Amino acid sequence: MPPPRVNKNPRNETTTKDNTGTLNDPFKFLNQDYQELKKSFITNNKRFVDDKFPPESSSIDPNKKLKLDLDKIEWLRPSKIVSDPQLIVQGVSRFDYSQGPYLGNCWFLASVGALTFMNEIVDQVMPVDQSFGKDYAGIFHFRFWRFGKWIDVVIDDKLPTIDGKLIFVHSKTSNEFWPALLEKAYAKVCGSYADMHAGHVSEALLDFTGGVHVNFELEKPAIDLWSLMDRAAKTQVLMACGSRQGEKSENILPNGIVQGHAYTVTGVFKVTCQGKPVRLVRLLNPWGMAEWNSAWSDKMSMEDFTKNFEEIDICCLSPDFLDSSSKCSWTTTCYNGSWESGTTAGGCINNKESFWMNPQFRVRIEELDAECASGQCPENILVSLMQIHEKRYRSLVSTYSIGFSVYRMKDEKFPAKFFYSRRPVEDSGNFINTRHVMKFFKLEPGEYLIVPATFRPNESAKFMLSIYTKTESHKKGKKPAMTYV
């Protein structure tokens, strides 16, 4: 077995010469240019109709999986639904909308609820240069982060209705349409409305921010989770959670919690009751109904939160909230790579003869000063691995079970049987069939090798590996020493 291949020169494969795919210059989804299309339709005094996501049944439910009578659906522009349509009425709020009855996309709408707390991120996703007023041409655009790149998504404003009422997400203010248009833009990215049915809340959180994502299981959190949530709530983060599964999907418990359902975390608080501190969590159900009705309603204690909910997802622009010390900051390095059958798809460590073939990334962990190293957050590295897919329809995407292993490097020379003689010092845990896995952990100062892999050999796929490492603030801006192997 050949030794691991070490490239002495770091190579960040996400870097592009023209910076296309950034927020300032996003990719034009399906090659549609918002500004050019809008100008053309204004000049010709016409309303835009999107031929790439037409107002037809194929854009709603191409495979007829939803319980909808498609013949009853009429696509209407907001001006045909109300007399005075507005994109936004008195700002965006988590109270603006309710989920429609035909589509199980609570994972997406829970993320929308989190989005409403962050005006800066709202302006990224929903550019401000659009309205139903001056220069209206029936065209809108939204921006999402997809697998390492920002895309600009153009839509027309024809919305599916039955008897003049929106059939999917709808605003509680009858003439406000940002929720329905945002949902339509995301449905276009997914392929259809039906392709949004069922999902993980982390998917939309990442697509709204392009930032760092951390996930914690609530049964046995390894850290002081409430303190971390408290720090997160004070910064630019989006938080959502999932309730524990029941025997029936979306069954409502006597305490008001919907089982197997996504919620927005809208705040964390500390109060004093009978002389004792109580930690509370406030949640939003995207249904707009069915809420917690036990102790501390409308909030719940942290103890009740961990009993009723399975996991929490936190997504942010910067991971600095992870540590309570102002002397600590986090730096990021991202790489795009691939597993190719027969060459770089070696499978998990169980496959001793081929594991060495997997792409390998080398990182150096620096020693921190005492205050930074001993803060509330002793962990000093976050590794994130995401599969990249390019299929047009989300429901047709097949993912592999993925994970990663981390090895301590002792010298520059590798024995021929390196992976036979070494055990990983950390790993992602069980390989999971999902779009994204991450692990938050502590490593001693030194050099390490990170090996992302699919569970089985010869499974070809593209991936993005993001590595976040803790540094001292006076060293901010210095990237961790990283080598693609």
List pLDDT tens digits, range 457-469. 999 999 999 999 9
Give the pLDDT mean for 37-56.
Answer: 96
Least confident of 326-340, 342-356, 421-435: 326-340
The better pLDDT of the pair 458, 325 is held by: 458
At 246, the pLDDT band (50, 70, 90 cuts) reads confident
pLDDT at 131: 93
pLDDT tens per residue, range 13-34: 343 345 678 988 999 999 999 9
pLDDT at 413: 62
Most confident of 11-15, 249-253, 337-341, 367-371: 337-341
- What is the share, in percent, of the chain residues with pLDDT greater than 70? 89
Question: 94-98, 193-197, 336-340, 364-368: which has the minimum mean pLDDT?
Answer: 94-98
**In the prediction, which pLDDT does 326 show?**
66
pLDDT band of residue 325 (cuts 50, 70, 90) is low
Identity of the amino acid at 463 = F
pLDDT at 179: 93
Confidence at residue 209, expressed as pLDDT on a 0 to 100 scale: 92
483 pLDDT more than 50: no
Residues contacting residue 370 through CB under 8 Å, at least 6 positions apart: none
SS3 159: strand
pLDDT of 192 over the 60 cut: yes
Q: Catalytic residue positions?
A: 106, 261, 285
pLDDT, tens digit (0-9, with 9 covering 90-100), for 409-467: 876 566 667 888 889 999 999 999 988 999 988 999 999 999 999 999 999 999 999 99
Q: What's the pLDDT at 420?
A: 83
pLDDT at 141 over 90: yes
**pTM listed for this prediction:** 0.87
Neighbour-count burial for 12-40, b at 16+ CB within 10 Å, e otherwise: eeeeeeeeebeeeebbbbeebebeebbee
Looking at residue 216, what is its pLDDT? 86
User: Higher-confidence residue: 266 or 31?
Assistant: 31
Q: How far is CA 277 from CA 42, 153, 265, 273, 309, in A?
A: 60, 47, 20, 6, 22
Asked if the model's pLDDT at residue 485 lies above 70, the reply is: no
pLDDT of residue 482 exceeding 70, the answer is: no
Residue 270 in this model has a pLDDT that exceeds 80: yes
Angle between helices 106-115 and 178-190 (to 10 degrees): 130
Nearest one of 96, 99, 109 to 178, comparing CA atoms: 96
Q: Which domains does the chain have, with CATH numbers?
A: 32-200 (no CATH), 211-316 (3.90.70.10), 326-484 (2.60.120.380)
Banded model confidence at residue 480, pLDDT cuts 50, 70, 90: very low
pLDDT-derived band of residue 474, with 50, 70 and 90 as boundaries? low
At 211 the pLDDT is: 86
C-alpha 336/C-alpha 147 separation (Å) is 9
The pLDDT value given to residue 10: 37
Q: Is the pLDDT of residue 481 over 60?
A: no
- Does residue 167 surpass a pLDDT of 90? yes
Q: Out of 146-150, 179-183, 245-249, give the one with best mean pLDDT.
A: 179-183
How sure is the predictor about 323, in pLDDT bands with cuts at 50, 70 and 90? confident
Which strands make up the sheet holding 436-441, listed edge to edge? Answer: 328-339, 461-472, 381-388, 436-441
Q: Is the pLDDT of residue 162 over 70?
A: yes
Looking at residue 197, what DSSP letter applies?
S
Residues sharing a CB contact under 8 Å with residue 359, sequence separation 6 or more, in sequence order: 337, 338, 339, 344, 451, 452, 484, 485
Q: Which pLDDT does position 377 carry in this prediction?
A: 73
